[in-house]
Chains A and B, each alone.
Chain A
Amino acid sequence: MALNRKIAYIDLSKGKIETRPIPLEVRKLYLGGRGLDAYLLYNHTEPNIDPLGPDNVLLVSAGILGATLASATSRTHIMAKSPLTGFLGSANMGGFFAPELRWAGFDHLVIKGRAERPVYLWIHNGEIEIRDASHLWGKSTTETQWAIRKELGDEDIKSAVIGVAGENLVRFANVMTGIKDAAGRTGMGAVMGSKNLKAIAVRGTMDIKIAHPVEALEYNKKFITQITSAKVSQTQGRLGTPFIWGATNPWGGVRTRNFQYNQHLYADDIEAERLDEIATETIGPYHMAGCFGCQVHCRAQYRIPSGPYAGVYDEGPEYTAQGAFGGEPECRSAITVLTGNHLSNQYGLDLLEAGSLISWAMELYEEGILTSKDTDGLDLRFGNDEALIEMIHRIANRKGWLGDALAEGGLRAAEKIGKDSIKYLIHVKGMSNLHSDERATPALALGIATASRGSDHLRSRPAIDLYHLPEEVLRKVYSNPISYSGPLSSDHREYLGKPWQVFWQETCYMGVDCLGICKYHTTFLGATLPNFEDWSRVLYLNTGLEMSPTDIWTVAERACNIERLYNIREGLTREHDWLVDRYFDEPCRRGAPDVIGAKIDREKFKKMIDEYYEHHGWDENGVPRPETLKRLGIDKEPSHLL
């Protein structure tokens, strides 16, 4: 059965391992993946623990549809208390790890304690071993994976690992699998490093029995047609996510120079098509790869064509790398973007956070808040490609005063740097923003302000808001599976009705995260991609679990509320659901005529937040109302069902 995968509790301090089945009633409440992880985090941690201490719990999971006959069920979810923000830590990666975990017999790992020396977990066909990893400590993310394969004599082993950044407890270190698949936000790699856990290696040959295999395959054909016929998927399959840059930079939706400007004027060398040319020249015409069970194939392969890392192989870069190492620091060279991407992958570093913090430091340097003494002589000005690359090394290795300070994340670094440095930090809840500029798009701004893991574009972003879709199309999307008759606007500059879109998208993304499906296969970048109605059918055919679209919506809502409860328990208030002053005070200076001059209206934004809370059933302070918790059956948490 697809539902018979187990949960494993691993105590690294005691070397104790226990496995249990996951009861069906828990499945129906949370499905799996991020939803069940949120429940486990709330139930298995005490309030106010040290995120880098042994009491923090690292949760690793596959979605309920992982390794089934449904498309793109590759996602691995990782959760813990975040060492970067002090709130919910959560990150999600593609690749092949989650399906292998399921074939090895497990859906969820609950890892607590701290090993005395470096260790790794070896999980295979229902068995779990804790093995010595002293010889792996200090290795890069790929070196570690290849070494484990060699040691255990199996080339098909998939591992989730940390690099040097995780070992050095850089508070925004990633957990990585494959070459570039990164659980890359909120510092889950640092949590893994704090537990002396270098890797989790999995290999499984335990079949997953599909409930209705013939019908599931047949339905998946329809799913595949839906996905592959979408223009956005075709573009992604050709250019990867960098295509988004081509759509947002021209009209002024990309932050540059640490949010002083909103368009990169010298970006010809880092456009998607240029990166595609490099991949074609260095790898060949068929350079796009995909994750498990995916038809989009949005991951480019490349070799760095020149410079100190010439000839080195890597994958990507994604849209985030273009912004982190191109837009934000205003660097112009593709080589810089490709090299920055490569180093971040090897160190296991959240490149979005690294690029944002380096760009912040560049502004501080130009403002005179940081001096060459602080940078150990590095000329940290915008557009200095070499300084950017050097800072990546310094952060990952905690080298020099500034490298060590930035490795602590923005808020802690601002305390160390002092003066007015905090005024220039672009963050929400202590996590840096994606390099997109949301001042002309209040809906997108609301999404990053209220996202449960800090500033984030993957929690609730109504990206289709940028397409100016007719109202009837929006209504069709946003009135399903829960009816909605309030306002909806095709104008992305509008405030009215947008909180519903953000609320709907948040619930939708939680849905895919519970199922283990990639977000590019749902209503994220394209309005015609599958969502609740399709998932209900796919879930039934693959697992036998009968849940209506509304049932899945309720599961997602329940999980969103558990995340909210967790954050509130850790000290979150309404003040944390807010943006930095630049969003409200400094208008866009570049871009298309209607983007120039755009900024967020404070009063209207406050009202948006009120409305967003109301949709969730939260009070004016953002606290879930008792009746909301009762409706969702979570009024008696923690309930310790697992």
Chain B
Amino acid sequence: MEREVMSTAESLAKTRTYGKFRCHNPSCMERITVPPGATRVKCPHCGLEWRVYWISPDFPRIRGPVWDVNQKLAQEAVAKKAKRKEGK
């Protein structure tokens, strides 16, 4: 039963990153690098804006959305979708 090879879980752990989190927009999910100590960050890929909480000095996580900004963007996206449908 002796084995030296890494298990799947261990090998995947090698890909872990710190100081970044993934955008919570499900159609984006890109990694965002957060400036140290920042309390808000805008996703450079999709534009949604997030409130930031720090688990430890090098480990940020998303606390929640900046509601006004994200709601506005969501409404715009939905309106665009609806317009496209009407056009069809």
Residues of A within 8 A of B (CB): 222, 226, 229-231, 234-235, 238-239, 243, 246-247, 249-251, 265, 267-268, 271-273, 440, 466-468, 473, 476-477, 480, 492-493, 523, 527-531, 533-534, 536-537, 540, 546, 590-597
**B27 → chain A closest CB, angstroms:** 4
Q: Do residues A477 and B26 form an inter-chain contact, with CB atoms below 8 A?
A: no
- Residues 23-51 of chain B, each 1 if its beta carbon lies under 8 Å from chain A, else 0: 01111010000000000000000001010
| Contact in complex: A537, B3 (CB < 8 Å) | yes
Given contacts A476-B11, A492-B26, A594-B26, contact A250 B1 (CB under 8 A): no
- Say yes or no: B16 contacts A527, CB within 8 Å: no
Contact A234 B55 (CB under 8 A): yes
Residue of B nearest to A533 (CB): B7
Interface of A is mostly: loop
| Contact with A596, one of B3, B11, B74 (Cβ below 8 angstroms) | B74
Q: How far is the CA of A528 from the CA of B14 in the complex (A)?
A: 9
User: CA A591 – CA B12 in complex, angstroms?
Assistant: 31
For the complex, count residues of B whose C-beta is within 8 A of A: 36
Q: A246-B61, A530-B9, A540-B1 are in contact. Are A592 and B16 (CB under 8 A)?
A: no
Task: Give chain B residues whose Cβ lies under 8 Å from the Cβ of A534.
Answer: 7, 9
Cα A238 to Cα B54 in complex, Å, equals 10
Task: Flag if B55 contacts A250 (CB, 8 Å).
Answer: no
| In contact, B24 and A592 (Cβ under 8 angstroms) | yes
B9 → A minimal CB distance (Å)? 5
Known: A528-B9, A593-B27. 14 other contacts (CB 8 A): A226-B10, A229-B16, A231-B18, A250-B50, A271-B63, A273-B53, A468-B26, A476-B11, A529-B9, A530-B7, A531-B8, A531-B9, A533-B7, A597-B81
Q: Which residue of B lies closest to A530 (CB)?
A: B9
Closest Cβ of chain B to A495, distance in Å, is 15
Contacts of B62 in A (CB 8 A): 246-247, 250
* Interface residue ranges, B against A (CB under 8 Å): 1, 3, 7-13, 15-16, 18, 22, 24-27, 29, 48, 50, 53, 55-56, 59, 61-65, 67, 70, 73-74, 77-78, 81
Inter-subunit contact A230/B61 (CB<8 Å): no
In Å, the complex CA distance between A595 and B24 comes to 11
Asked if A230 contacts B13 (CB within 8 A), the reply is yes
Contact A476 B8 (CB under 8 A): yes
Q: Which residues of A contact B8 (CB under 8 A)?
A: 476-477, 480, 531, 533
The minimal Cβ–Cβ distance linking B64 to chain A, given in whole angstroms, is 5
Partner of A468, one of B29, B61, B81: B29
Does the CB pair A251–B78 fall under 8 Å? no
| A528→B12 contact, CB < 8 A | yes
Can you list 23 A-B pairs with a CB-CB distance of less than 8 A? Answer: A229-B13, A234-B56, A243-B61, A246-B63, A246-B64, A249-B64, A273-B53, A466-B26, A468-B29, A476-B8, A476-B11, A477-B8, A477-B12, A493-B26, A531-B9, A533-B8, A533-B9, A534-B9, A537-B3, A592-B74, A593-B77, A594-B26, A597-B78
In the bound assembly, the distance between CA atoms of A440 and B18 in angstroms comes to: 28
Q: Across the interface, which residues of B come within 8 angstroms of A234, CB to CB? A: 55-56, 59
A594 & B25 in contact (Cβ 8 Å cutoff): yes
Contact assessment for A593 and B25 in the assembled complex, using a CB-CB cutoff below 8 Å? yes
The interface centre, meaning the residue of A268, A271, A531, A592 with most chain B CB atoms within 10 A of its CB, is A592
- CB contact between B1 and one of A222, A273, A537 (< 8 Å): that residue: A537
Q: Verify A238–B27 contact, CB threshold 8 A.
A: no
- CB-based nearest A residue for B82: A597
- Which B residues lie within 8 Å of A268 (CB)? 64
Q: Which of A238, A492, A536 has the most CB of B within 10 A?
A: A238
